[in-house]
Amino acid sequence: MSVFRGAGVAIATPMHEDLSVNYEEFARLIDFQIEKGTDAIIVCGTTGESATMTEEEHIDVIRFCVKHVAHRVPVIAGAGSNATDTAVYLSKEAEAAGADAILSVTPYYNKATQNGLIAHFTAVADAVKLPVILYNVPSRTGCNIQPETVVAMCRDTKNIVGIKDATGSLAQTTKMMSLAKAAGVEIELYSGEDGLIVPIMSLGGLGVISVLSNVAPTQTHDLCMAYLNGDTKKAADMQLEVLPLVDALFCEVNPIPVKRALSLIGFDCDAIRLPLTRIEPAHEKQLVDAMRGYGLIK
């Protein structure tokens, strides 16, 4: 049974002006997501600014999210690190907090070999009983999990179940899924690119782990469900319609635009931790225009 099917939100972390976590607003954002049809909450990922959190904050945010979600949808905890011991520690704490699965990012900066990646992710998976979803985002980490490596890990380690694919390379995704099929290996594939939801689902994807879902949860869920229910034309039309908004949400590095977008729809979410800074005026205009064009604001 898959961890989830449909649209999982890579949820932002609201913060006060002093940059402490705003748990009251975080609770409101979680409730909004669930009420609007989001199929899973992915907490402490890139969009959640986990890279700027202390380990204590990271664990506290996961605990709060799990408790507030209260089993309404699956909670997938970002628990990656470039240090294997830290990734293992965060994964154990996420499991203890009650998370339903782990999202484990490729070690950044160190740029491990493929054998190093296998050793890293296997150590994480062996430390917990939860399903582990790999997170491959080479544009941020400088390290790419090759298709053969993904297939080998999903074959050889029982609880490495799938991957959030944010490579942006459909050729690589196609090769990975082809190798998996030839080897009889099941891979739970999730798009990590909001602009490629339908193409990745056409290769066997189960949905998306989405930035877009922060501000358009119902639409992102409906897009995924249209595809899963066999209405590929509707899904494709929805994918094309949302592309200007997706482009605007990535006009600066994530999560700068999406935190501003959340503020524009009524959440106290402008504060962002350095080295990220608030959105620049020209990009804010692009974002506002795209949100207005998509009907999110007037």
Strand partners, 133: 103, 162
Helix (H) or strand (E) holding 27: helix 23-35
Strand partners, 42: 10, 76
Give backbone dihedrals phi and psi of 192, rounded to 5 degrees, phi first: -105, 10
Residue among 11, 66, 44, 72 nearest 217 (CA): 11
**Which sequence positions are flagged as catalytic?**
135, 164
- Tokens coding 70: 């209260």
- Tokens coding 6: 């449909």
Distance CA 35, CA 279 (A): 28
Give backbone dihedrals phi and psi of 142, rounded to 5 degrees, phi first: 75, 15
- Tokens coding 107: 């070690």
